[in-house]
Chains A and B, each alone.
Chain A
Amino acid sequence: MAAKRVETGRGRRSRVVSEQRRSSRPFAIALGVIAIVGVLALAWSVARPKRGVTDVDLKADPAQARGYLLGDSTAPLQIMEFADFECPACAQFATLTEPDVRKALIQTGKAGWRYYDFPLPMHQNTWDASNAAACADEQGKFWEMHDMLFANQDRWNGEATSSPKDVFKGYAQSLGLDVPKWEACYDADKYRSRVAANRAEAERRHIESTPTFIIGGKMIPGALNYDQFMKYVSDWQQSQGAAAPNATTNTVPNAAKPGGTKP
């Protein structure tokens, strides 16, 4: 079969080459079409609004769930985070970006932060993780458990185990919680309704991915890096300065109490 292709002696694939010459125009056209379509698609992607950022008016539409508060609920800027303990992007944000954001905004009193559980259906152990964190909150250590869960996500997620309780119990112990009390809370799934309320808040706001943040009237999906995050904060600060230099906009949910993280 291959020998039949070698007829003229001008190159081993003379016939193939001549066939290719005949078919080179369709090839060039196909290549050109792909190139044009590709460039146009990339141009469209670059030009479209970033990250599907949408406006949110929290004064008109305050949160109906409390979430978990970090920092001062009366700080000028209130930030909401909707996240899933088993989501890798959320863990990336929590471990890489959030510590710096806390130093810059929370510890300085410039902002308050609320975490809302948004357990996603594809994550096997995320409800259990939210349960573990809620029970830690009962003893005033939600954020310690939050940090522990995200930092060690690969040790308790659905890939690592189908029964993460023992891992969580170890975290409760290392955080100095009253373990029997925590365990009783965990086994009773005591705060399921609270987690469900946080999730309902995310669904009510049509949040489609985790993590999603609400920063000063903008809802932003995706694991932002530090610079991206602070850009939204400075944009908000500038808009506040331009609108009313001394105004403070408290976007704390109506139900929230200063400093309180209890359900």
Chain B
Amino acid sequence: MLAALLALVGLFVAVYLTLYKIGVIGQLVCAAGSCETVQTSRWAVFLGAPVAAWGVGYYVVVLAMAMAGTTERWEDSSALSTAMLVITAWGALFSLWLTSLELFVIHAICQWCVGSATIAVALFVVSLLDWRETRLLDRDEPASPAPAAPAA
């Protein structure tokens, strides 16, 4: 549930930055730092698409997975838990790389990007805790009665 909330916030941040990047939003609200410097740097594009647009895709996928995880069918799924762990680990590492570029290469900080990176790291932490819990449950399963078939 917490992952879904985080992913939704992250999705809005990514949409906001994408709308700026494609020219729909004229000016970023940036109380301090240099959002525009970061967003107009060459590092704001990855594999031909704005980094923020990749962020939108990332958060949509994570949100969908997190919402699936709140349903009874997928709530126990260790596969889903592992997939969440892998994708959020990738997201956190990618975000940390982008933040390091801001600090050491671009020499400018975009608050929204840092906010997104924080969310990405938080998502990873939440996913890690969930994955650990799922593993504990898997370990305990032999001692428990056979579970009912998941609802279709």
When distances are taken between beta carbons in the complex, the residues of chain B under 8 Å from A50 are: 25-27
- Residue A257 lies at the interface, judged by CB distance under 8 Å to chain B: no
- Residue B23 lies at the interface, judged by CB distance under 8 Å to chain A: yes
In the bound complex, CA of A5 to CA of B144 (Å): 10
* Contacting pair B136 A2 (CB below 8 A): yes
Q: Interface residues of A, CB < 8 Å — how many?
A: 46
When distances are taken between beta carbons in the complex, the residues of chain B under 8 Å from A38 are: 8-9, 11-12, 15
* Contacting pair A45 B37 (CB below 8 A): no
Count class of interface residues, chain B: 35 or more
Contact string, A1-28, partner B, CB cutoff 8 A, digits 1/0?
Answer: 1110110011111001100100110010
* Contacting pair B76 A12 (CB below 8 A): yes
* Contacting pair B27 A42 (CB below 8 A): no
Contact string, A201-226, partner B, CB cutoff 8 A, digits 1/0?
Answer: 00000000100000000000111010
* Contacting pair A3 B34 (CB below 8 A): no
In the bound complex, CA of A209 to CA of B39 (Å): 13
Whether A11 touches B137, Cβ cut-off 8 Å, given contacts A30-B5, A122-B107, is: no
* Contacting pair B23 A228 (CB below 8 A): yes
Whether A2 touches B70, Cβ cut-off 8 Å, given contacts A10-B148, A159-B105, A223-B40, is: no
Interface residues of B in 104-140 (CB under 8 A from A): 104-108, 133, 136-137, 139-140
- Residue B47 lies at the interface, judged by CB distance under 8 Å to chain A: no
B67, closest chain A residue (CB): A31
In the bound complex, CA of A51 to CA of B108 (Å): 19
- Residue B145 lies at the interface, judged by CB distance under 8 Å to chain A: yes
B109, closest chain A residue (CB): A122
* Contacting pair B140 A6 (CB below 8 A): yes
Residues in chain B within 8 A of chain A (CB atoms): 1, 4-5, 8-9, 11-12, 15-16, 19, 23-27, 29, 34, 36-37, 40-42, 70, 72, 75-76, 104-108, 133, 136-137, 139-141, 143-148, 150
Q: What are 21 pairs between A and B in contact, CB < 8 Å?
A: A2-B139, A5-B137, A6-B137, A9-B145, A9-B148, A11-B72, A11-B147, A12-B144, A17-B75, A20-B1, A20-B75, A24-B70, A34-B8, A34-B9, A38-B12, A87-B37, A88-B106, A92-B41, A123-B107, A222-B26, A222-B40
